[in-house]
Structure 1
Amino acid sequence: MNITCPQCGFSRELPADRLPARAVIATCPKCACRFRFSPEDGVLETLDAPAPRDGAAAGSAGQDDPLPPGAIVPGRQVREEEPEHAASEAEGKRREPRSEDGGAFADRPDAAPEQEEEEDIRRTASRAYAREAARLRESEQDADPHAEHDYEANPWETAPGHDGWLASFYQTVMRVMFAAPRFFGSLNPEAPQLRALCFYLIICVVQTVVERFWGGILLAIMAPSAATDPQLEKMLALLAPQSNLAMTLLLRTAMLVLQLYVFSGLTHLAYRFVAPDRASFPLVFQVMVYSSAPALLCVIPALGSLAGMVWGLACMAVGCRAALRLNWPQTLLGFVPVCMVMGPMILQLLYAVQS
């Protein structure tokens, strides 16, 4: 809609969305004439005419009453010395809409300052939230920087800790048997081998004592039948202990420790060819040590020892893959030397039992 001032003829086009819904009072930005208008009827009435300018008033006053040369008119020197930007600022203030006006024809200031103020508030809030989040992250890291690592670490390495030796041993066995990938993936290659070797010796001692106990019970049960069965008698003679418990513990423990180092060395040598950049003897040694944890299933008579051996081999394969970050073909190729050594031993044992 085009609105025209009835006093000076100044006009301005207003969009339809800014038109008022009723009759309002508007102010002309050029001559400051105030008039009432409505969108339907246009200009209804002129409320007041523009006041005469100060310069014109001063000029007319000068013509009626001329001043002597050098006379100082109050206010004129001040206006002459005002900077140009002050006049522009006054003009801007004069153009602001009055509270009683409708503001449809008056020269309104743009809404950009309000939007900029809202954007400044949002940016300030965003920066405050970012600082608070960073502070919380730093406080969590400072409070417990190794919380996740401690949870995934080997409990036997930190024994006795708060829970004691027995609880640490039990937790280690449970993690090896039921969370092997996570446990072996967190092994530390710089961990002392002596502590891991102590874990292995405990497993060997428990396994030797339990197997001797179940072997004695088996011999006592099957001894009457062996008198009439020569094959059974040979098998019982082979299973019968040839020395006391202390000597058996010493000899078998020494043999198992030697076997541990031989198998660890062979496996490490194989991985040196399969994955040279990932082979690590400390990690392979720890995998061999902690994979013996399922051997504690020997407490179950009959099938316990067999199940423990199979479970231990599975933990060994999973452990090498997780600790050395290998794929399955590389992992299985690393066990080829061990299988070549153990194969003849198993065949010889089976031949001795059959004969």
Structure 2
Amino acid sequence: MRITCPNCQFSQDIPEEKIPPKAEQATCPKCRHKFKFRDLSSSFKLSEEPEATPIEQNDKATEKRQSDLEGENKENIWEKLESMAEGTEQKKVDRDSLAEDEADIPWEHLEKYGFFPGLFKTIKEAMLSPANFFARMKLTGYSKPLVFYLLLAEVQAIANFIWQMVGLMPMISSQGYAVPGMGIVGLGSAVILILYPILLTILLFMVVGFNHLFLVLVRAGTSGFQGTFRAVTYGSAPMILAIIPFIGPLLGGIWAMVVTVIGYKNIHRTSYVKVFIAMFLPIILGIVLGVILRFSSSF
């Protein structure tokens, strides 16, 4: 039975078996308003009552005590409901707090996790549980994902530079200047370390825009450009493996591609089929265009 307070509209479902048979009134646990929640009065009433016998008097006394007890029960019935409701609300608050904690991207809450713990925890979650990581992600801006991406790119570039300096990897240079991962004519390593984030940011937005265009074409870009941007930036987490010489960059690149695909799927709430079509469609179009140009040049 659902009991609703006519004063404050607070309501609660109460099992029939827990309501005393003769209870008619209840006290609202919220506003303390007393009201009649059902009518048990009989439609027929005897005109005369015979004189009560001693046995009947005892029965009436027992009935009166039972009625008083039921009166206490009916007043306390919503008091129990109040404690039950408070317990339910507490559980709901706990679940909400837990859900909010689980929704945190550690890198975006460094005040809570700290810089290095937040960085490493984000990298770990993105690499080892990408589906859950991206599914719970909220779209809250570009700056923090961009800094995360550039930071990993700088670590990768510096690691490559160190391995080149110690001779573990081939040196990439231009006009005598050693370059961390790339060569630019007329610029030294120090200048490149400054320009590298700027050039990488421009390239990043170009790549994300290109990828998002094809996701939209196959109707797989439901979370917008920011969703694709976050999949690419946080999907680069495995590139931390570039600190391992030789196999690190290759392994990190393959792993990052897999994580990014999972990111597209979970952020945009789409299917892997659409994601793969969006990724391979540019390659197919490029092959077709190359074949057309080759045949056209032969005539």
TM-score interval w.r.t. the shorter chain? Answer: 0.5 to 0.7
Determine which of 155, 165, 179 is the counterpart of 2:106: 155
Q: Does 1:316 align with 2:260?
A: yes
Aligned partners of 2:53, 2:89: CA distance in 1, in Å? 54
Question: Of the candidates 29, 53, 62, which is equivalent to residue 94 of structure 1?
Answer: 53
- 1:122-201 alignment, distance < 5 Å: 128-141=79-92, 145-159=96-110, 161-189=111-139, 191-201=140-150
Match of 1:9 in 2: none
Instruction: Give 1:266's aligned amino acid.
Output: F
Corresponding residue for residue 280 of structure 1 = 224
Matches within 5 A, 1:80-119: 87-90=48-51, 93-94=52-53, 96=55
The residue number in structure 2 matching 1:293 is 237
Q: Where does the alignment leave 5 or more consecutive residues of structure 2 unmatched?
A: 1-44, 288-299
Q: Does 1:336 align with 2:280?
A: yes
Of 240, 245, 255, 2:189 maps to 245
The letter for the 1-side match of 2:212 is H
Distance verdict in 2 for CA 1:273–1:173, change over 3 Å: same
TM-score (norm 1): 0.54
Distance 1:278 1:216, change over 3 A: same
Matches within 5 A, 1:183-262: 183-189=133-139, 191-218=140-167, 241=179, 242=183, 244-262=188-206
**CA distance 1:89–1:98, change in 2 (3 Å):** closer
- Native 8 Å contact 1:207 1:298 kept in 2: yes
Match status 1:265 vs 2:209: yes
Q: What is the RMSD of the two structures over their aligned residues, measured on CA atoms?
A: 3.9
User: Could you say which residue in structure 1 is the equivalent of 2:35?
Assistant: none
1:97 shift after superposition? 7.0
Query: Larger deviation: 140-149 or 202-211?
Result: 140-149
* 1:193 alignment partner AA: Y
CA contact (8 A) 1:267 1:337 kept: no
Alpha-carbon spacing, 1:169–1:277, altered in 2? closer, same or farther (3 Å): closer
How big is each residue's C-alpha offset from its partner over 1:146-198, in whole Å with a ceiling of 9 and x where there is no partner?
43122222112222x13322221111111111121111112222x12112111
Deviation at 1:275, TM superposition (A): 1.9
Label 1:338 to 1:139 Cα distance change in 2 as closer, same or farther (>3 A). Answer: same
Q: Distance in 1 between matches of 2:160 and 2:99?
A: 39
Q: 1:341 & 1:252 partners in 2: Cα distance? A: 31
- Match of residue 36 from structure 2: none
Rounded Cα–Cα distance in structure 1 between residues aligned with 2:196 and 2:272: 33
Unaligned runs of 5+ in 1: 1-83, 100-107, 221-234, 344-355
CA distance in 2: counterparts of 1:215 and 1:149, whole angstroms: 44
Equivalent residues of 1:263, 1:338 under 8 A apart = no
Instruction: Give 1:319 deviation, angstroms.
Output: 0.7
Report the residue type matching 2:146 in the other structure. Answer: L
The number of residue pairs the alignment matches comes to 233
Residues 184, 319 of structure 1: 8 Å contact kept:
yes
Once the two structures are superposed, what CA deviation does each residue of 1:250-301 show, in whole Å capped at 9, x if it has no partner?
Answer: 4543443233212211221122222267241111101100111110101112
CA–CA separation in structure 2 for the residues paired with 1:208 and 1:342: 30
Q: What SS does the corresponding residue of 1:275 show, helix, strand or coil?
A: coil
SS of corresponding position for 2:138: coil
Deviation, structure 1 residue 342? 10
Contact 1:152 1:182 in 2 (8 A): no
